[in-house]
Amino acid sequence: MKVSTLSIKIWRWFSILLVVGGLGWTYSLLPDLVAVDFAPSGLAENYVEKSTIFYLVMGLIIFNNVVIRAIAKQVSNVPLNLLPVLNRRAWADFRDELDEHLVNWLYSLVAAINTIIALTLFALGTLNSNQFNQDVFSFAWVFYLGFGMLLMIFIALPVRLMRPPVPEISLE
């Protein structure tokens, strides 16, 4: 197993624990009505019931971790001519490596979405808690971090697939 594959799997599992823990922590901390929209002054404008947030986030978590993972498991069954690979001829003889890159990319996407959901839940829980004195502007970094992660993931796969595959070298 390559180091990149192992690190992506560890990130995905850590992000699952983070998002489930974040959901539990946030649910226990939130009041019955949760502020979800804020005016430019930082005051809450719109409220949603805590159970609505719970079911919405659970739906996102299940979709992200089940549906996208199921797509990742089917990558090897898709014919090469149907895959959106720019350098198809170069990758034709290295299908296993191509599949590994595609699966790693999908798992990275799952991990990034889980991480963004978890950070958003922590921010939402902190903003709506009486225990913490934070305003909505203290969490602007969550948007930029999430956007940056998704942008890097969406750019990384096409850039990697434009380069030719690296043949394995045996030391024997």
Q: What is the pLDDT of residues 112-122, one digit of tens each?
A: 999 999 999 99
Q: How far is CA 140 from the centre of its chain?
A: 18
HSE on the CB side for 82, CA within 13 Å? 6
Q: What is the pLDDT of residue 17?
A: 95
The pair of structure tokens assigned to 53 is 């947030």
8 Å CB contact between 103 and 75 = yes
- 162 CA to centre of own chain: 24
d(CA 134, CA 124): 10
**Using alpha carbons only, what angle is made at residue 66 by residues 20 and 145, rounded to the nearest 5 degrees?**
55
Which segments of the chain have a pLDDT < 70? Answer: 132-135, 170-172
Q: Tokens 């191509």 sit at which residue?
A: 98
For position 42, what pLDDT does the model report? Answer: 73
